[in-house]
Amino acid sequence: MHPVECRELSKRYRERSALAGVTMHVPEGSITAVVGENGAGKTTLLRLVVGLMRPTSGTVSLWGMDPRVKPEVRERLGYVPERPALDRRFTGDDLARLSLRVRRRFSLAAYARAMDELDVDGSRKVDELSKGMQTRLALALALAQEPDLMVLDEPTEGLDPLVRRRVLAELIGLAAGFGATVLFTAHVLGEVERVADRVIVLVGGRCRLEAPLHELRASEHMVRLRFDAAPSPATLRALAGVRSVHVDGDVAHVHYSGPPELLLAMSGAREVLGAEAMDLESVYLSFVEGRA
């Protein structure tokens, strides 16, 4: 039973669709990244997962339970939104003592460990902390709940690019080190490849890809095929494993999931002009732009 499973999950705001039929899961012990540009539906997906909003249709389950029907399951997760709602009048230690009174799984020992590893001064008021330090404090408070699932929404958003890479690896590594399955959102794809082992690609509110990163690197190719005449893009798109197509005269640039020689046989092309393995960024751009 997976920590997170979504089936045909959709969310509409009046006339706008934020998510449309998303089906995905997060395996136990994984570090899963949800990537997509602004407005792709990343934050909406996480808010649905943690039970902060109700889907228009479809289902969300945490360990087989609906977080809105069984709110007690939420005690097993830690959630850090993009803009943590920390009372700026209190110190981190004040917030820890308050959390101890209202959260059954809160551990002061785990809080102290996280604060130490994240190098946050718990005696300082939230108002005195930088945005990055506030995010670290929010993560420490979430880790102190000793969660089985940690959900992080753009944990490095707004940080200096020079420190963002180090901070993301630090935050994700610490959460995993506490034994939590991790689900996080990000849009800097190079950073994702360094810390995640699985990826979910959202484009326009739809899930276009869900795969372990090692499988993505092994299976996703940009293949250039030459035909005897200009091929039909629609015909190529209908082939199994084809994700996007761009045709230039008698040459087709095909984003294909699978062995290039199999695509050659299926497509009826004359020859393969070239085939390149794709990294996460090139896969994502193929989906967004609809071509190589």
pLDDT (0 to 100) of residue 155: 81
pLDDT in tens, 146-199: 899 999 998 877 666 666 777 777 778 888 888 889 999 987 788 788 889 999
Alpha-carbon gap, residue 195 to 202, rounded angstroms? 18
Q: Cα torsion at 114, 116, 117, 122 (round to 10°)?
A: 60
- Domain at 4-204: CATH architecture: 3-Layer(aba) Sandwich (3.40)
Q: How open is the CA angle 176-42-162, to the nearest 5 degrees? A: 60
Q: Does domain 217-289 sit in CATH 3.30.70?
A: yes
pLDDT in tens, 105-133: 899 999 999 899 888 999 999 999 988 88
Contacts of 140 (CB under 8 A, 6+ apart): 92, 111, 114, 115, 118, 120
| Paired sense of beta strands 220-226 and 251-257, if any | antiparallel
Mean pLDDT of 69-89: 88
Indicate the pTM of the whole model: 0.86
pLDDT (0 to 100) of residue 271: 95
Contacts of 262 (CB under 8 A, 6+ apart): 241
> Quick one: DSSP state of residue 10?
E
CA 214, chain centre distance (Å): 16
Which residues does residue 220 pair with via DSSP β-bridges, in sequence order? Answer: 257
Provide the token pair at 150. Answer: 């940690």
Domain assignments of the chain as residue spans, ordered by start: 4-204, 217-289
Residue with tokens 């082992």: 197
